[in-house]
Amino acid sequence: MISVYYFGSIALVLIGLYGVLVKKNVLKMLIGLSIMETGVNLLLISIGYIYGRSAPILSEGIGPNQAVDPIPQALVLTAIVIGVATTAMALSVAIILYQRYGTLNVEEIRRLRG
Amino acid sequence: MVSILKRGLAIIILLVIGYWLAQGLSGVPFGQDKMLVGQYYLNHVKQQTGAVNAVTAVVVNYRGFDTLGEVTVLFIASTGVGALLWGKNRKRTARTEGSVVLTTGTRLLVPFVILFGAYIFIHGHLTPGGGFPGGATIATAFLLLYMAFTMYEIPYKAFEKTEGIVGMGYVVVGLIGLAIGGYFLFDWIWQTWGWGHNNIGRLFSGGFIPVIYTIIGIKVGTELSGIIDNMLKEEVKE
């Protein structure tokens, strides 16, 4: 049986993927992508977790053997920033799509292009 | 009919992918000690970098080159947004001013939001946070100004210049390390000068981590404000 955190992150990835596959509005697809990203980040963080240990900040009372793995957290820090950058790019493409075609519906855009 | 079929197909695909992911992850034990490199970082982070927060030490010091690449990605994204939304006569087109609560709250809060962002990125080596969250907090202050006042614009020329200068500052810090220690992004403040060796855990420690995080904080703050500015302006036809 898998842990509840793994289950939650898989569920988030699947919810996001459902949005990307089924929704027709570009903005809703982008929201799906963001939800998928959240799921992946949660998965990375929960892989780095160790029972009974604290955040990897070695202040008083927390030695090197009482902290969780710092590397997944550093990776997720990177991933969040890259996620913001890609979301901003995608949103500006969506703005241009709306200016060109007057709609954000993918099927209508496909029809208008012929 | 077609949409129901499509939806059903999507759900079947998702169930297959979900089963496959769960199958793979059932081999990864949750909550067990799986650290190899992480344990090395945790054991040596105080002597090697002077930082208390191991995450920022990994991000800025051990994997500083990676972070330079990350900053570059953010820069390319902000340039890309600017290029995609480029237009000749772009102005703000919002018609209604924010409510009294919003405008008054913004006037009161903006300095403190910026101060808090600066606090986050200056204390990156001691507390959770660092340059990226701090910069995002600073950008939030500008977003508040944009939402509250219809005529507000950031001085984007000055912002672009600041962004370029601090971006070069990061590379210059790395190159000084190359000149002193022999490799790019060598921590010269901590290892050669030896500043702050006896106050680990206080503000003046951590080698070049506070310096680089200040650079990253300013850069991220100006870049995200620039993205907000680009997205909120529209081309005005006359």
pLDDT in tens, chain B (238 residues): 668 888 899 999 999 999 999 999 888 888 888 888 989 999 998 888 888 899 999 999 898 898 999 999 999 999 999 899 888 778 888 788 889 999 999 999 999 999 999 999 999 888 888 889 999 999 999 999 999 988 888 888 899 899 999 999 999 999 999 998 888 888 888 888 888 788 888 888 888 889 999 999 999 999 999 999 988 888 777 6
Q: Do A89 and B67 touch (CB under 8 A)?
A: no
Q: Which residues of A touch B46 (CB under 8 A)?
A: 58
In-domain check, residue B42? no
What is the domain partition of chain A in residue ranges? 4-52+65-113
Tens of pLDDT, residues A41-90? 999 999 989 998 888 888 878 888 888 999 999 999 989 989 988 999 99
Structural domain includes residue B38: no
Q: For residue A57, give the nearest of B128, B132, B136 by CB distance.
A: B128
Q: Which chain A residues are closer than 8 Å to B32 by Cβ?
A: 50-51
- Is B1 contained in some domain? no
Fold of A4-52+65-113: Helix Hairpins (1.10.287)
Which of A81, A86, A103 is closest to A33 using CA atoms?
A86
Number of domains within chain B: 1
Query: Residue B192 falls within a domain, yes or no?
Result: yes
B31 in a structural domain:
no
| DSSP track, B204-224 | S-STTHHHHHHHHHHHHHHHH
- Looking at the complex, report in whole angstroms how far the Cα of residue A79 sits from the nearest Cα belonging to chain B: 9
Answer yes or no: is B106 within a domain. yes
Q: Are the Cβ atoms of B30 and A91 closer than 8 angstroms?
A: no
* C-alpha span between B127 and B56 (Å, rounded): 9
- Closest CA relative to residue A42, chosen from A72, A2, A84, A86: A72
Domain that holds residue B127: 53-235
CA distance B150 to B87: 20
